[in-house]
Amino acid sequence: MAALSSRLFPILKYNLTNHKSVCLQRSLLRWTERSFSCYASNCQLQGTNSNNHVLPGKVDRFGGVTVDLSDRHFPPDVTESAFHVLLQDSLRQWRVDGRVAAWLRVPISQGRLLSVAASHGFTFHHARHDRATLSLWMGEGENRLPGFATHQVGVAGAVLDEASGKVLVVQDKNKTKNAWKFPGGLSNLGEDIGATAVREVFEETGVRSEFQSLLSVRQQHKHPGAFGMSDMYLICRLRPLSHAIHFCTQECLRCEWIGLAELAQTDATTPITSRIAKLLLYGYREGFDKIDLSVEEMPAVYSGLFYQLYHRELPTSYKQP
């Protein structure tokens, strides 16, 4: 096992000698002796040539290599200088192997290794909870790595009571300009559009409702409060299942059922609310098929998961092959 250690990590050994780091040596021995074979069996190992000293990584089908520093076999107390040399040698080997990208998954507890990676050209790709993912493009020409999520998704619900012709609107508490708008808010990760609309309407107003259709999509870049990202805002048509208002006083100043025709006419609203009120009024008078996008759940080809597809209603005769 000592031979394996010295074959795979001669430069680390060199560093050990220089730095007399008993701590690192112990960690490396732990990594190699106890669990290296296990770690290796789970990874497609890079640099099998005995002259190389390369971080074990997984190769993806796009020609990138990913190293997870939160792997339980990665020595938690590796010195920054040892990591610097190891990363340098790994990058050299990955370039020889024709890898086009390197990815590092770094737990927040190993934050001190981030500046080492940055000195080799890595930057943050994204970070969530207790882990950051860094990337480095090593291919020819410009960086072709996929970016991280660029949009937050907000959903509003236009709850229309068809019997009375009234629609549920709120005034935000925290805005300087009080204007009627449809209740809504940001989607949670993994939440369907219709589910966000129903949840947000209930949380803000106390009114229960069910999804009917998608009415409108808005895209806005440099959206305030989106941390430099863009905003996709969807407005749904909902049907009320209850009518009593118990609005959230932390978020709303007022909450009322008001006539749809009145909302479509008033100046005390936002441009988008006014426009959607007019659209909703058109559908209310002429038929909702004039304004609705219906939703259908369909199977994804490769993942085996399902997705929601929204578009104009298609006559049944066209749906059949």
Task: Tell me whether strands 184-186 and 294-299 are parallel, antiparallel or unpaired.
Answer: unpaired
Under rule CB under 8 A, which residues in 16-55 are in contact with its own copies? none
Q: Which of 58, 71, 133, 268 binds its own copies (CB under 8 A)?
A: 133
Under rule CB under 8 A, which residues in 61-100 are in contact with its own copies? 61-62
CB nearer to its own copies: pick between 99 and 125: 125
203 is catalytic: yes
Under rule CB under 8 A, which residues in 140-169 are in contact with its own copies? 146-153
Least distance in angstroms from the C-beta of 160 to its own copies: 15
With 0-12 / 13-18 / 19 or more C-beta atoms within 10 angstroms meaning exposed / middle / buried, residue 207 is: buried
> In 241-305, where do the E strands start and end?
252-259, 294-299
Distances (CA, A) of 195 to 92, 157, 172, 214, 321: 49, 10, 21, 12, 31
Under rule CB under 8 A, which residues in 229-268 are in contact with its own copies? 229-230, 232, 234, 264-265
Q: Which of 4, 35, 72, 111 binds its own copies (CB under 8 A)?
A: 111
Q: At what angle do helices 22-29 and 10-19 cross, to 10 degrees?
A: 150
Least distance in angstroms from the C-beta of 112 to its own copies: 4
Q: Are 139 and 100 in contact (CB under 8 A)?
A: yes
Judged by CB under 8 A, does residue 281 bind its own copies? yes
Q: Tell me the HSE value of 285 on the side-chain side, using a 13 A CA sphere.
A: 7
Catalytic residue among 162, 203, 286, 313: 203
Judged by CB under 8 A, does residue 113 bind its own copies? yes
Residue with tokens 């290794």: 113
CB nearer to its own copies: pick between 86 and 117: 117
Least distance in angstroms from the C-beta of 133 to its own copies: 7
CB nearer to its own copies: pick between 8 and 55: 55
Distances (CA, A) of 108 to 21, 74, 104, 267, 273: 23, 14, 12, 50, 43
Element (H, E) at 103: strand 101-107
Distances (CA, A) of 35 to 59, 290, 311: 20, 64, 53
Contacts with its own copies by CB under 8 A: the residue count is 96
Least distance in angstroms from the C-beta of 228 to its own copies: 8
CB nearer to its own copies: pick between 48 and 176: 176
Q: Which of 91, 215, 252, 260 binds its own copies (CB under 8 A)?
A: 215
Measured CA to CA, the distance from residue 88 to residue 120 in angstroms comes to: 7
Measured CA to CA, the distance from residue 195 to residue 197 in angstroms comes to: 5
CB nearer to its own copies: pick between 47 and 283: 283
For the annotated catalytic residues, the residue numbers are 203
